[in-house]
Chains A and B, each alone.
Chain A
Amino acid sequence: MQMKANLKDVRVKRRGKTILGPITCDLDPAGITIVLGPNGAGKTTFLKVLHGVERLSGGDVSWNVSDEQARRAQAYVFQSPIMLRRTVRQNLAYPLQLIATPKPQIATRVASWAAKTGLTDALDVSAPRLSGGEKQKLALGRALIRDPKVVFLDEPCANLDGRSTREIEALLMKATADGTHIIMTTHNLGQAKRLADNVIFLLDGQIHDRGPAPAFFAKPRSPQAQAFLEGDIVE
């Protein structure tokens, strides 16, 4: 089933300042949706709101399935990867253990995802000891290992070199081809153009512009989005 979200007058306030919203929109995140915007625009907050882990100050987010089902069908990769103080192998196995997957199945899935993320040689290394890029790959593998319907990725390639970025992008394309919806942020416009099916442009906690990728990149509707795409400083 397609996962769709509906946001009604969503607001997030922190210390008296509105950092997101009010946002009212329907979201049908088929394929890859890229969330763009300058630092502090509210991209991370937006993703967390959709995932249901950010406390709302007002409004309401609902998926077209029950909250419980929505949660179970989603995964999230945080902007700064969170490593369990365990080995890489145990980190990958963890989400599967939570849902009581049989052991042999865990072992094969872990091996397969370690290979896909290029971490096979690091399986027995303690995860907090990995390099920044390796941590990101591990976080990504750990998110995808449960075959989620929707994955939120907060700058998944921020610390990766060109080759790793290409490998991860291939992995994401493959996941989308298999029916996973991906909602991700990136500051890499080249990557946005390569991957995006849809774009959401955030500025000051508001959705400033959104639409199918080709149209957005060819002719953004708002001058701010235009400036952002041209690499100007948006204010």
Chain B
Amino acid sequence: MTDIWAGLASAFWLVVSLDADLVDITLRSLQVSLTALLIASLIALPFGTWLAIRRFRFRRATIAALNALMGLPPVVVGLIVYLLLSRSGPFGVLGLLFTPTAMIIAQVIIITPLIASITHQAMRELWAEYHDLLISLNTSNWQRIRTLIFDGRRALLTASLAGFGRAIGEVGAIMIVGGNIDQATRVLTTAIALETGKGDFALALGLGFVLIALALLVNFAIHVLSRTEREGRW
């Protein structure tokens, strides 16, 4: 018990004094997950919307595949990305293994299906509402997607938020493809795993605080954002 209290106290200090390691790791975590979020959103938001408005032959199969991908265990994603990027793998020549880029790739694979699936569900509803009008106005597919994305932006924000939450807290895949190398690929979650293993609870807890704070902050920011929008426009 004393261990934990001492850990809590020194964790608090680390955060308050902006410990260099802590800041470094936090920034890297943000850099990796935000980049992954950006890329995944660029793919998943239009794709999920497109799925909602297009009828094509393998639509049901695609949606089923998307839902299956959503449940893919991150560790397995990590393993597959590892094999692809390893020196003997097809993309080995790029030398990406154990770099932040590899971690971004793994996270993109993990969160894209999630964001696309939530997007698809929200957009299906909006499309049902807009369908007749947009058909009547002779809109192109691209115009339809843009209109739905714009008017459904709050739902999409929520989808992206869910993706970010999953990315920033993910540990299995980035541990495998990043390698948790100090100063290079160590991020919040992998550092917590390592420090806990070493018994350095102070740093582990400090990192944990930051992780929780980040999650809360993003949630709060989005909440405020969507509320001001509702008041201003709706």
User: Residues of A with Cβ closer than 8 Å to B?
Assistant: 51, 53, 71-72, 74-76, 78, 82, 84-87, 94-95, 98, 126, 128-129
Q: Answer whether A84 and B132 are a contact pair too, CB < 8 Å, given A71-B138, A95-B137, A98-B137.
A: no
Q: Is the CB of A84 within 8 A of B133?
A: yes
Determine the main DSSP class of A at the interface with B. mixed
Instruction: Assess whether B228 is interfacial by the CB under 8 Å rule.
Output: no
Q: Is the CB of A82 within 8 A of B132?
A: yes
Instruction: Assess whether B151 is interfacial by the CB under 8 Å rule.
Output: yes
Alpha-carbon separation in the docked complex, A84 to B153 (Å): 13
Give the interface residue-count category, chain B: 10 to 19
B197 to chain A minimum Cβ distance, whole angstroms, is 50
Alpha-carbon separation in the docked complex, A76 to B135 (Å): 10
User: Residues of B with Cβ closer than 8 Å to A?
Assistant: 126, 129-130, 132-133, 135-139, 143, 147, 151, 233-234
Q: Which residues of A contact B132 (CB under 8 A)?
A: 53, 76, 78, 82
Q: Is the CB of A53 within 8 A of B234?
A: no
Alpha-carbon separation in the docked complex, A87 to B151 (Å): 11
Q: Which residues of B contact A51 (CB under 8 A)?
A: 136
Q: Is the CB of B135 within 8 A of A84?
A: no
A41 to chain B minimum Cβ distance, whole angstroms, is 20
Q: Is the CB of A76 within 8 A of B233?
A: no
Sample (14) of A-B pairs whose CB atoms are under 8 Å apart: A72-B138, A74-B136, A78-B133, A78-B136, A82-B129, A82-B130, A82-B132, A82-B133, A84-B130, A84-B133, A84-B147, A86-B151, A86-B233, A126-B234
Q: Is the CB of A126 within 8 A of B233?
A: yes
B156 to chain A minimum Cβ distance, whole angstroms, is 13
Choose from B136, B138, B143, B151 the contact partner of A84 (Cβ within 8 Å): B151
Q: Which residues of B contact A128 (CB under 8 A)?
A: 234
Alpha-carbon separation in the docked complex, A87 to B135 (Å): 21
Q: Which residues of A contact B137 (CB under 8 A)?
A: 75, 94-95, 98
Q: Which residues of A contact B147 (CB under 8 A)?
A: 84, 94
Closest to B153 in A: A85
A214 to chain B minimum Cβ distance, whole angstroms, is 32
